Amino acid sequence: MVSTVVWPQSSINLISTEIEKTEVYRKLLINLQDLVMDPNVSCDALEDQMRNLISESGYKQKLRNLVYQYIVKDPNLRNEIQQRKEPLEYIQKAQINWEHRITKSLNNMSNELGLVFSRKRPVSEQIEFEAKWSELGSEDMDLSRFRPVYSPKDFLEVLVNVKSPNIGLVMSPDPG
């Protein structure tokens, strides 16, 4: 599950009040007032100019850091912020489908080659297998009959087609 933060209005008010007391806020306010008073900035472009000023001058990150500091400092504030979980069943479903596809491909290849894909080994074979366990990686085997189970293109196709069912519900651009 992915967490998204739900901010109570009281927390927003408290953090806003604290940020308004900082030097960062005072400098940002002065820069924004200068921008608003600039005769070269048109009313139509003012909002974009303000966003550019906040992000390009580093104030966006400074404000984020201040918010983080207030949340970390105040345990009551941390407890007040609620976590809302986003269900991720669609990822589990995609994983199950991919594993099914791989298993099916392995079964088909083992049937073509006349090999048993999975079976219960007799006890004698299990003991022999355990004794040779450390040597198995160094044995030279003819792997020319085996083909890749999947191609990178197949995997990319699966990844591209994984889509959150919530993607259309709450899509709002970052205001700056």
- The burial class, CB within 10 Å (0-12 / 13-18 / 19+), for 98 is middle
Q: How is residue 85 written in tokens?
A: 């979980």
Tell me the pLDDT of the chain averaged across its residues: 82
CA atoms of 20 and 76, how far apart (whole Å): 20
pLDDT for the residue numbered 62: 92
Q: Strand runs (DSSP E) across the chain, as ranges? A: 2-6, 82-86
pLDDT category at 89 given cuts 50, 70, 90 is: confident
Q: Which residues pair with 84 in a beta bridge?
A: 4
Q: pLDDT, tens digit, for every residue of 134-152?
A: 777 777 777 788 888 888 8
